[in-house]
A = this chain, B = another copy of it.
Amino acid sequence: MAVDVVSLQDEESRFYGCLGSRSLCGLLPPDAISQAMDQDGVTLLDALREAGLENVPHEALDLSRYRGFLEAHIEQGPHLEAAGNRVGVVDSIVGLGGRRFRFIGEQNHAGTTMMSIRKDAATALFALAQGINDAFSALAGPRSVWTMGRVEVRPGAASIVPGYAELELQYRDPSMAMLDAFEAEVDRLVKEVRSRDQATVEMSASRERIAPVKMDETLRVHLGSAAQKHAPGQWVEMPSGAYHDAGVIAALLPTAMLFIPSIGGVSHDFSENSHDEDIVIGCQVLADATAATLLDN
């Protein structure tokens, strides 16, 4: 058996999240390629034409040719560096879900509108957001994270009771049961805020839910053995908090994944980088684990 090396395009979703791996696996919706457009209005079809790939047939994964898939990646986080580790063997890729909330109240004068008749969109937003932080903190597992990164309050003036607000929530966990529990809690809290008869609350899914993915046990053992050889005592098993192509390919092939440290934990920035010696260790671990996989009976 031989080894194929692949560089998968557009994991980060200029056109479509994990475009390369989804295309390779035949997991793209029918119109995804013909409809995709980046935020500057460039269509994927134009980009393919410009790259001279217009008439190149798309690769399809031939499952009979592969024993598994191994992905190497920068951690995009601070954990390995902070603990003095050189390699992370991923045990699972966290799943994620999201909710968008719209609060519809009544815009009014902040001096003359008594509290009892207000329908203040921001008041409802604060109550829901603080409720989510309290409830999720009580439920959370060691790898749960949640974020309310987008908040809009309108019209946004100190002496006007806000008539409209938006909030976006995202939550991630390696366990599907935790994602379910988070969503049940959000449903309960939305009902509670709605029952106050102030601003109304609308809720929708802000994104398609991504299920958590467990990495293949055998491949993880090979990566762990190789890590112990090249970085003895300086490697660790860990979940991936970010999503990766390995999450797509795991649906079809035994899949595992390794991380090397991010300098300063920096990610999604031009200064994102890894030390050369860590890149070398990562390549050695990847090569040894690949060889061990080929030697498996």
A129 within 8 A of B: yes
CB of B75 within 8 A of CB of A112, answer yes
Query: Quick check: which of A26-34, A144-152, A289-297 contacts chain B, the rest being far away?
Result: A144-152
CB of A147 within 8 A of CB of B172, answer no
Query: Quick check: which of A48-56, A116-124, A220-228 contacts chain B, the rest being far away?
Result: A116-124
Contact residues in B for A232 (Cβ distance below 8 Å): none
Contact residues in B for A120 (Cβ distance below 8 Å): 147
Task: Return the chain B residue nearest A114 by Cβ.
Answer: B145
Interface size on A, residues (CB 8 A): 57
A24 within 8 A of B: no
Query: Quick check: which of A1-9, A62-70, A157-165, A273-281 contacts chain B, the rest being far away?
Result: A157-165
A272 nearest CB across to chain B (Å): 10
CB of B112 within 8 A of CB of A123, answer no
- Our pick among B161, B206, B241 for the contact of A149 (Cβ within 8 Å) is B161
CB of A112 within 8 A of CB of B241, answer yes
CB of A242 within 8 A of CB of B112, answer yes
CB of B150 within 8 A of CB of A157, answer yes
CB of B145 within 8 A of CB of A149, answer no
When all copies of this chain in the complex are counted, the total is: 2
Q: How far is the CA of A129 from the CA of B122 in the complex (A)?
A: 9
A234 within 8 A of B: no
A115-B145, A130-B127 known; A77-B109 Cβ under 8 A: yes
A91 nearest CB across to chain B (Å): 15
A127-B130, A147-B120 known; A109-B76 Cβ under 8 A: yes
Per-residue B-contact encoding for A131-161, CB less than 8 Å = 1, 0 else: 0010001001001111111111101111111
Query: Which A residues lie at the B interface, using CB under 8 A?
Result: 75-79, 94, 96, 98, 109-115, 117, 120, 122-123, 126-127, 129-130, 133, 137, 140, 143-153, 155-162, 165, 168, 170, 172, 206-207, 241-243, 265, 267-268
18 contacts between A and B (CB under 8 A): A109-B268, A110-B145, A110-B170, A111-B242, A115-B140, A115-B144, A115-B146, A120-B147, A122-B129, A126-B126, A127-B133, A147-B158, A147-B159, A149-B153, A149-B155, A149-B160, A149-B162, A159-B170
